[in-house]
Amino acid sequence: MPDRESPLGGATTVTADSGPTDERIHRIRRRLERLIGVAATEGNAVRPLRNGDEIFAAMLDAVAGARHTVDMMTFVYWRGDIARRFAEALSDRARAGVRVRLLLDGFGSRLIERDLLDRMSEAGVEVAWFRKPLYLSPLKQNHRCHRKVLVVDEQTAFTGGVGIAEEWCGDARNSHEWRDTHVEVQGPAVDGIAAAFAQNWAECHTELFDERDRFVSHRPSGNAIVQVVRGSASFGWQDMQTLMRVILESAEERIRLATAYFAPDDYFIELLCATARRGVDVEILLPGPHTDKRVCQLAGQHRYEALTACGVRIHQYQPTMMHAKIITMDGVVSLIGSTNFNRRSLDHDEEVMLAVMDTEFTASLDAHYDEDLKVSELIRPDRWKRRSLLQRARETAVLPIRRYL
Ligand SMILES: O=P(O)(O)OC[C@H](O)CO
């Protein structure tokens, strides 16, 4: 069988020896490429990182090893020892002559300590703010930069769910250590993640690139096929919605979704229901007793009855805040990045999500999901129907603002 042509991304290697999984991956890849118009790339190494202990160690290690450039973008930059450690690591590299750029969302990072900003600027870190609310029209204020990106020397990139704050430290051992997942990427997909940074940086800073950008070519680093999908702060249908739709509509056996904030619109509720009704095993993992945004949780809980009636299983994570943003499909494709399953991520904000078409990576995320389920509680439809009037009233009370959640 000859290689198949991928007009956007070169040839996909589907050979006579390729099995049904490769065929499947090829079909999904081509759907995503033609419907989103962004090439997937081959030859990527992808490493899942679970919880702050792994995530922050890998990110700080990469920063410490930077020789040319560091680009970092985050929605949340709050407080705590980890906030200081990142500021010190970035400052250290800037003092060593590395070009260090830090892009902070004007709303999400408003709690950053002033002296950290001063120290970073003095060291030569270029700090820019994405849409500081005070200076904006209300319409623009609603569209935030929710992407979490770190790119080091144009060759190693990170994205996923974490913000820079003490809440994310540790290993989800108790309610002070949030559960989250990030991914480290090497290979050609780094370009897409770097472009997500560049797009937002261009809005906030006069210089987009300079002589320190080497525009390196990527060598194959692993076996994963990765498409990088950017969601834009805009109005109307977005690529991020197409990505979710393609994955849900392509599922044949199983969808596993984990998200910090679950408050999608009617369209995506119906799509989840339709997916379950056609026999796909659909599981959703959400925060339980520990959530930092109860309004969001209530908006999601308002949908539990409809979803469970279609056969969707909903689990609430017990030990701490569940903050990961992950979907796995049929053991072959994973989505990982900054996108929550809510209107804010799907309709309003700048997001970045990787579609990782790789069985090994997906198996790792599924194994993490299995472990998470062990410490989660399944919502029992009959019991949920008997929830209190107060709970029902609270769910109804948040409905008027659900489009902003
Ligand atoms: O928006 P996320 O998913 O990055 O989570 C950060 C929260 O907004 C913190 O309250």
Mean pLDDT by 10 residues, the chain (405 residues): 43 58 96 98 98 98 98 97 98 98 96 97 97 77 91 98 98 98 98 98 94 96 97 82 97 98 96 98 98 96 97 98 98 98 92 98 98 98 96 94 84
Q: What CA–CA distance (Å, rounded) separates 40 from 187?
A: 12
pLDDT for 201 equals 97
Kindly calculate the radius of gyration of the chain based on its CA atoms and give it in whole angstroms.
21
Q: What CA–CA distance (Å, rounded) separates 238 from 212?
A: 33
Answer whether 162 contacts ligand 1 (Cβ < 6 A). Answer: no
Cα of 162 from ligand 1 centre, angstroms: 8
Answer whether 163 contacts ligand 1 (Cβ < 6 A). Answer: yes
Cβ pair 260, 287 in contact under 8 A:
yes
- Best mutation site among 292, 320, 341 for ligand 1, i.e. most ligand atoms within 8 A of its Cβ? 292
Nearest-atom index, ligand 1, CA of 148: 4
- Best mutation site among 55, 73, 74, 76 for ligand 1, i.e. most ligand atoms within 8 A of its Cβ? 76
| Residue at token pair 């290690």 | 61
- Best mutation site among 112, 143, 323 for ligand 1, i.e. most ligand atoms within 8 A of its Cβ? 323
pLDDT for 233 equals 65
Tokens of 143: 């569209």
Cβ pair 63, 89 in contact under 8 A:
yes
CB atoms within 10 A of CB 356: 27
**ipTM exceeding the 0.90 mark:** yes
Cα of 76 from ligand 1 centre, angstroms: 7
Answer whether 187 contacts ligand 1 (Cβ < 6 A). Answer: no
Query: What are φ and ψ of residue 318, in 5° steps?
Result: -95, -40
> Full-prediction pTM beyond 0.80?
yes
Helix (H) or strand (E) holding 303: none
Nearest-atom index, ligand 1, CA of 323: 3
- Of residues 23, 45, 42, 114, the one with CA closest to residue 77: 114
CA 147 from centre of chain: 7
Answer whether 160 contacts ligand 1 (Cβ < 6 A). Answer: no
Burial group, residue 299, by CB count within 10 angstroms (0-12, 13-18, 19+): buried
